[in-house]
Amino acid sequence: MDDINGPQSASASAPPELLRLAAPTAPAARADAVRNRAKILDAAERLFAEHGVGAVSMDAVAAAAGVGKGTLFRRFGDKAGLAVAVLDARESVLQQQILSGEPPLGPGAPPGERLRAFLAAYARFLDTHLDLIRVSETASPGARYRIGAYRFWHRHVAILLHDARPELDADYLAHALLAPLAADLRAALTGEYPAARASAGLDRLVTALLRATP
């Protein structure tokens, strides 16, 4: 992911539906814009690491980056957009593994196995970057479902689920399976019980669904 509707990373041999989501064409870019974008991301990453994502205001990011607030918002839309951009590099790694990595995460394993592997991998990813993902999902209502990355994960889950169980409503159920991985819920459960328990529970749920008799 990148700017408001900039490029999105990733590319390899994989279902064309996913690729369409993963690599739109770049529009053009002015030198100062590129420079400022880098300055902003640097500053944001540094401040987030130092004070925690929640405690950093957009003003602070703009000041630390040495740019005006207008520039910051023009490039990233809102705080969720900035968080998404900071996350991007890390997200791409996972997307890459899905598109062209080793099974069971990458192509090759049976769809049910790939699905379970994905949910487990995403849960790990989520736990690692919980604060950042949470901001990217909750900074504005509905943000989660507008993000390119969510659409990527959703499409991936829907395709796998459809392959494994064609009689199910894969499109809706993909949303339902991703719902327990909303950062806000995961954050609320942290402290209540360990991440492993949540991951095991979710695996149980998807396993039950995969076994479903029509």
Residues contributing to the site for its own copies (CB under 8 A) = 134, 138, 141-142, 144-146, 168-169, 171-173, 175-176, 179-180, 182, 184-185, 187-189, 193, 197-198, 200-202, 204-205, 207-209, 211-213
Kindly tell me the sign of the dihedral angle through the C-alpha atoms of 180, 184, 189, 190. Answer: positive
Encoded one letter per residue, x for contact with DNA by CB under 7 A and - for no contact, window 133-172 reads ------xx--------------------------------
Using the minimum distance from each CB to its own copies, give the nearer residue, 67 or 137.
137
Cβ partners under 8 Å of residue 206, min gap 6: 115, 116, 119, 177
Q: Site for DNA (CB under 7 A): how many residues?
A: 24
Contact call for residue 59 and DNA (CB under 7 A)? yes
HSE-up of residue 65 (Cα within 13 Å, Cβ side) = 28
From the list its own copies, DNA, none, pick the one residue 213 interacts with, judged by a Cβ distance below 5 to 8 Å according to partner type: its own copies
Query: How many Å apart are CA 86 and CA 13, to the nearest integer?
Result: 26
| Helix (H), strand (E) at residue 209 | helix 195-211
Query: Token digits for 99?
Result: 């598109």
What 3-state DSSP class applies to 85? helix
Contact call for residue 67 and DNA (CB under 7 A)? yes
Contact call for residue 46 and DNA (CB under 7 A)? no
From the list DNA, its own copies, none, pick the one residue 114 interacts with, judged by a Cβ distance below 5 to 8 Å according to partner type: none
Which range, of 78-86, 166-174, 180-188, 195-203, touches DNA by CB under 7 A? 78-86
Using the minimum distance from each CB to DNA, give the nearer residue, 73 or 125.
73
Using the minimum distance from each CB to DNA, give the nearer residue, 26 or 196.
26
Contact call for residue 33 and DNA (CB under 7 A)? yes
Provide the terminal-to-terminal Cα distance of the chain, rounded to the nearest Å. Answer: 38
Contact call for residue 110 and DNA (CB under 7 A)? no
Of the candidate residues 15, 24, 52, 68, the single one contacting DNA (CB under 7 A): 68
Of the candidate residues 78, 113, 131, 171, the single one contacting DNA (CB under 7 A): 78
Phi-psi region of 172 (alpha: psi -120 to 50; beta: other; left: phi over 0): alpha
Query: How many Å apart are CA 208 and CA 206, to the nearest integer?
Result: 5
Query: How many Å apart are CA 136 and CA 181, to the nearest integer?
Result: 14
